[in-house]
Structure 1
């Protein structure tokens, strides 16, 4: 995968790519990245990339020329048709499903804005996706871009040490993840459930499914309404509801 991030502040992002799983994945050649300062593409003699909005109003708006030229340049170099993501508080709320969708792409271009907003022609004629990481406003799109890259790269094949890890994460199955335990089995009188040390994999799988349903029922009932539960899941959920009374 090739990831190009268009930003006015590449120094905000570089440290994230040089750390932890993102660094190891890059060193193993699982993805390539390029931090592009789109100010380098402006034809304005004062190196400006923003201007006052037509019709008046507060703040400055990013002009289309440097953004269009930067996207066209990185696209031409790669020879692919990228998914062009605009970080924007008006965009689609980001989700694990969206991360899985983007992880299937060969080339992502992520545009990080600053100032009051974007010239509308960027939205209408350049981008394929507008994404928001939450119902709040940040000073720029860089933090959101880092969230997207981290969530996408960890889904690429062989990036995580255990390829079973990502599919079992919270939200990947539509449910929150079941409780996890490790050594020691008894810590200050707080004990690991006996079933997890039983060696009976079928019973362990059933326990994990039930506890995953329980945690989702307790914390995110809204997620259950979006799922098509199996007959077994429905029976487990009914047990949970009786136990939670």
Structure 2
């Protein structure tokens, strides 16, 4: 049997794309996490646009979170700048989308430091849309066709939003002014984890399912384990500053393992 048939499901003889190396997989996951974090920060910027009074401490947290989001998002650039082995029509578009997302996010950060009346909502909306487009562009680059190709885009978007939210929850738990965040983000985590898990299971169906590679472990790290950790806070809410960073670490580890495994048939 030729080496390229090693990953072909059900003996079809169709070679699937090789899983990315660990550094490349990490760049994709962390970049997607940064873009997902930018989306949630854009939403929060719309809901809490004016930092004044008690919200001043929240604005300070948002500035730090935006800096982290931009740093993480920039880590995707090595994956996009890497010369592909074959022509990739999405690479140029993804680079443009990622550049626009970084520019819009930087502008939003600048408006946090020096507010300009009337621009906050517009820039937040632009940042949100550009960040979503960046995740989509990254998802569509570097992959051939496959049985799971139609689900690749929504799955990558769901994973980026889940990872970005998990990091945001950890930041809130560590830096939220006043009373701790406690169990507040638990329902959101359950919903995002369920969406990402359902999309992954659908993408894996007919391609070996959970039996292929360590997909089962990636799924556990992405949803059940974070859920159990978060639900623990209903019994011991004082552990929030420990539990939410662990939730974020579990989600990131699961996303990295899934990316490294080449979890979907088309990546």
The structure with the largest helix share of the pair is: 2
TM-score of the superposed pair, with normalisation by structure 1 = 0.27
By percentage of residues, which structure has more strand?
1
Does 1 or 2 have the higher relative contact order (CA < 8 Å, sep 6+)?
A: 2
TM-score (normalizing by structure 2): 0.26
